[in-house]
Chain A
Amino acid sequence: MLDRAPQGTQDETRPRPVAFRGAGFTPSAGRYSGWIALALVIGFWQLAGSAGWVNALFLPPPSAIVAAIYKLALSGALWQHLSWSVMRIGSGWILGTAAGIIVGFGIGLSTLARGVGITFISALFPIPKIALLPLLILWLGIGEEPKIATIALGVFFSTAISVYSGVDAVPRNLIRMAQSFNVPFHLIVRRVIWPGALPSILAGFRITASVALLLVVSAEMIGAQYGIGAFVLQAGNLMQTDQLLAAVVILSVFGLVVGKGINLLEARLLHWR
């Protein structure tokens, strides 16, 4: 008995593997898991509708929504509403983005513009732009202009902020390097600051695309005959929930397409990252 090693220390003389403790904290999205989850939710939703667990008037099943989209596409109403919305988003976004880039670069490069611009942007950015629509209607009339101006305003502030943040984030050592070679100001802006600020500008595009979508729907709900927002409101008033959700799905697809477009733009312009 006395010759035996005490219980518990017997194994300590033998080599044993070091316990692995570095697991976790590295989440990675599976390739198909998202799609499978989406299909499951849609399947359950369809089942709930088909089995009569949910009143189709309040939540029409996916099949009814697909049918509504199909009918809208065939009748031409879908294209009519969509084309008006796309026209408004496109015009408003381009105007707001162009102005935002100019002002953002001004703030990023000029002391005077920074002093004035940041104060104004800080004061005006938090205002929900849709609240300005009635005022814009008074100023610009009841046509397309106030709706486009509302979208442009919403896009402008976010763009200006992302542009001057991007300009600020360009490493100063790159600018000093260019100056040390006597590179003129306009070439420093074009060849150093613009590409350096581009990642932030493109990230801003992602935000402004969703801002534009939100504002177009809101503006069209307030005063438009055609457009996805007007269609959603009209379908709601008539309790045509399948058509209402069809429009929501179209908006979602539109948002996804724009997001994919920005992904492509990033892959093309920021391939050096």
Chain B
Amino acid sequence: MDLIADHISHRFGTLDVLDQVSFTVRAGEVVAIVGPSGCGKSTLLSILGGLLRPREGQAELRGAPPAGSLNPLTFVFQDFALLPWCTVEANVEFPLVHTALGISERRAVVDDALRRTGLTDFRGAYPKQLSGGMRQRVGIARALAVRPAILLMDEPLSALDSQTRELLMEDFIRLLADGSMGAVYVTHNLEEAVRLADRIVVLSRRPGRVREVVTIPMTRDERGDINARGKLLAIQNDLWSLIREEAIDAEREVQHA
């Protein structure tokens, strides 16, 4: 199943945030969206996931979702969006309660999602008892439970410390390894984008337009190799040089606002 951004424009009041953004996320592909602060990355993700109606253009799906997918487009949120009154297990089960799955099937799905994210021993804990990294793992387990075709990840690591980010990045790489699931990965962190994405959509500063689409010329497995580091760093630097001037302008604009 492909996800298509078709000439998406959006505006908040008098503020244009997105302008004619178009690209396609093919089945199993990981596309990162980067750009200066305030360029409309998260707005674009909300539009792609059907949580925000664009002013112009639309998000489209092409092709059938994979068999058994309960929610083809599934978000992983920056702030985790966990229900604080529910245990880990109940949070993961939350998106399944209204589905046609029976109780035993639900339990099996939850068990599987908890196992894949290393949360089995924490199933009875409440979110407030968990570290930031474990909370985001609950968010990921909840997303996996509905067997998504495409994960819509809105800066999923930005609320975490650098060590936890590294550990979760390894988890993402593992979960996306078999290509059964694609992702749109919004981030301001170019290193994350370069490590995870097959393609990187670079947006201009507000109103966000597609400036460039960069393809990473190696598989994710190859990127783990020590010899690939130099090449990845060069891509990262190229991306930064694309964004840098606008990031400075965007920062000044925020300060003047």
The residues of A with any CB-CB pair to B shorter than 8 Å are 171, 173-174, 176-184, 187, 191-192, 195-196, 272-273
Contact = CB atoms under 8 A, between A and B. Distances in A.
B40 interface: no
B71 A174 contact: no
Contacts of B97: 183, 187, 191
A176 B81 contact: yes
Contacts, number: 48
Given A173-B77, A177-B75, A184 B85 contact: no
B81 A181 contact: no
Contacts of B85: 195-196, 272
A177 B74 contact: no
A111 to B, nearest CB: 17
Given A173-B77, A272-B128, A180 B51 contact: yes
B84 A273 contact: yes
Nearest to A192: B83
B84 A177 contact: no
Interface string B79-100: 1010111100000001101100
B49 interface: yes
Query: Among the interface residues A178, A180, A196, A272, which one has the most CB atoms of the partner chain B within 10 A?
Result: A180
B126 interface: yes
Contacts of A187: 97-98
The 5 closest A-B pairs by CB, nearest first: A181-B95, A177-B81, A272-B85, A195-B85, A180-B75
A177 B77 contact: yes
Interface in B96-145: 97-98, 126, 128
A205 B214 CA distance: 58
Query: Among the interface residues B79, B81, B86, which one has the most CB atoms of the partner chain A within 10 A?
Result: B81
A177 B94 CA distance: 10
Contacts of A179: 51
B74 A180 contact: yes
Contacts of A273: 84, 128
Interface in B144-188: 146
Contacts of A184: 98
11 contacts: A176-B81, A177-B81, A179-B51, A181-B71, A181-B74, A183-B97, A183-B98, A184-B98, A272-B85, A273-B84, A273-B128
Contacts of B86: 272
A182 B71 contact: yes
B152 to A, nearest CB: 8
A99 to B, nearest CB: 26
B83 A195 contact: yes
Given A177-B75, A180-B49, A181-B74, A272 B81 contact: no
A192 B94 CA distance: 10
A174 B51 CA distance: 12
B184 to A, nearest CB: 13
A176 B45 CA distance: 13
A209 to B, nearest CB: 24
A211 to B, nearest CB: 28
A181 B77 contact: no
Contacts of A173: 77, 79, 81
A209 B193 CA distance: 56
A181 B91 CA distance: 12
Nearest to A270: B85
A183 B70 CA distance: 11
A196 B84 CA distance: 9
Contacts of A191: 83, 94, 97
Contact of A181 (B79, B94, B126): B94
Contacts of B81: 171, 173-174, 176-177
Contacts of B126: 272
Given A181-B146, A273-B84, 11 more contacts: A171-B81, A173-B79, A177-B75, A180-B71, A180-B75, A183-B95, A184-B98, A187-B97, A272-B85, A272-B86, A272-B128
A181 B145 CA distance: 11
A176 B95 contact: no
A187 B85 CA distance: 15
